[in-house]
Amino acid sequence: MRDNAIFLSAGVPDPSAAHFEGEGDSAAIAAAVNALLYATLGRRQLIWGGHPAITPMVWAFAEAMDVDYGDWVTLYQSAIFEDMFPEETARFRNVVITEAVGDDRSASLALMRQRMIRENDFGAAVFIGGMRGIFDEFRMISESSPRTRILPVMSTGGAAEKLGRELHATPSFSDELDYVSLFLEQLEIDPNEERSVSRNRLDEMG
């Protein structure tokens, strides 16, 4: 079990999907995800359920920052979506593939989320954009770990905005567009805190 990890629930809303919960701002979603990665990678363990729009962002950012994502990022995926995995999934060393529940996509996704939340101890949960799954993951975390800090980034739209309204989130989640500052403050991370660089970088420095 990972202790005091940060859970990321994020996605780009698709208006044609049955579980659509409202328009998202794709530029704001990308900016918020990148800001969270900048604030946390090499400093805090980040755990999330793979999303075809988010996984490539995490991979590209980790590569650019030269952080060993195998140590700092854990990606959960359900085997039922294996044919839809983005190619970046195969590049992460720390991937947990959960079993499919027959041909039932909803049950398979629920099982993946249950394992992801049960197997880790989260200090904070960040919600960015997304659709109905945002609410499902929020409920699961609230039930299993009521002390987890809930951070809905409302300015990214989608389900995260609705969740923030329901929780009466502080104005900073809707008004603050400097996402790096927002996450450093809300996650209590010192901007001068050192990062753990990749093993390749350590070899170069040695």
CA 124 – CA 127 distance, rounded (Å):
10
CA 125 – CA 48 distance, rounded (Å):
10
pLDDT for 39: 95
Residues of the domain holding 136: 2-205
DSSP, residue by residue, the chain: -EEEEEEEEEE---TTSTT--S-B-HHHHHHHHHHHHHHHTTTS-EEEE--TTTHHHHHHHHHHHTB-HHHHEEEEEEGGGGGG--GGGGG-SSEEEEPP-TT-HHHHHHHHHHHHHHTEEEEEEEEEE--HHHHHHHHHHHHH-TTSEEEEEGGGBHHHHHHHHHHT--THHHH---HHHHHHHHTT--TT----B-HHHHHHH-
Predicted structure pTM score: 0.89
pLDDT for 205: 39
Structural tokens at position 123: 């200090």
* CATH number of 145's domain: 3.40.50
Q: Taking Cα atoms as reference points, which of 6, 7, 21, 15 lies closest to residue 135?
A: 21
N-terminal to C-terminal alpha carbon distance within the chain = 32
**With the C-alpha atoms ordered 21, 80, 45, 28, is the resulting torsion angle positive or negative?**
negative
Ordered per-residue pLDDT tens for the chain, 206 residues:
556 899 999 999 988 888 888 899 999 999 999 999 999 998 999 998 877 778 888 888 877 887 777 778 888 988 887 776 766 666 677 889 899 999 998 999 999 999 999 999 999 999 999 999 999 999 999 999 899 999 999 999 999 999 999 999 999 999 999 999 999 999 999 999 998 875 444 344 34
Count of domains observed in the chain: 1
